[in-house]
Structure 1
Amino acid sequence: MAGLELVLDMLRRLQSDMREVKETLREHTRRLGHIEHNTAQQMVANAEQSDRIDRLSERFGRIEGRLDLRE
Structure 2
Amino acid sequence: MIDNIESLVLEHLRAIRAEQDKHSERFGRLEARLGNLETTVAGLRRDLAHMYGEIVEQHTHADQLVARIERIERRLELQDG
Identify the TM-score tier after normalising by the shorter chain: over 0.9
* Aligned equivalent of 1:13, options 22, 34, 52: 22
Aligned counterparts of 1:45 and 1:11: Cα–Cα separation in 2: 51
* Paired position in structure 1 for 2:52: 43
CA displacement, residues 41-65 of structure 1 (integer Å, 9 cap, x when unaligned): 0111111111000000000001111
Q: Give identity over the alignment, percent.
A: 20
Question: What is the count of residue pairs matched by the alignment?
Answer: 71
- What is the CA-CA distance between 1:19 and the residue it aligns to? 0.4
Structure 1 segments, 4+ long, off by >6 Å, are none
Query: Considering only aligned residues, what root-mean-square deviation do their CA atoms show, in Å?
Result: 0.6
2:64 to 52, 55, 70: 55
Q: Quick one: distance in 2 between partners of 1:17 and 1:46?
A: 43
Q: Kindly state the Cα deviation for residue 39 of structure 1 after the two structures are TM-superposed.
A: 0.5
Q: Which amino acid aligns with 1:17?
A: R
Letter in 2 for 1:14: H
Alignment correspondent of 1:27: 36
Structure 2 segments unaligned to the other structure (5+ residues)? 1-9
| Unaligned 5+ runs, structure 1 | none
Task: Quote the offset at 1:2 in angstroms.
Answer: 1.2
The alignment's TM-score, normalised by the length of structure 1, stands at 0.96
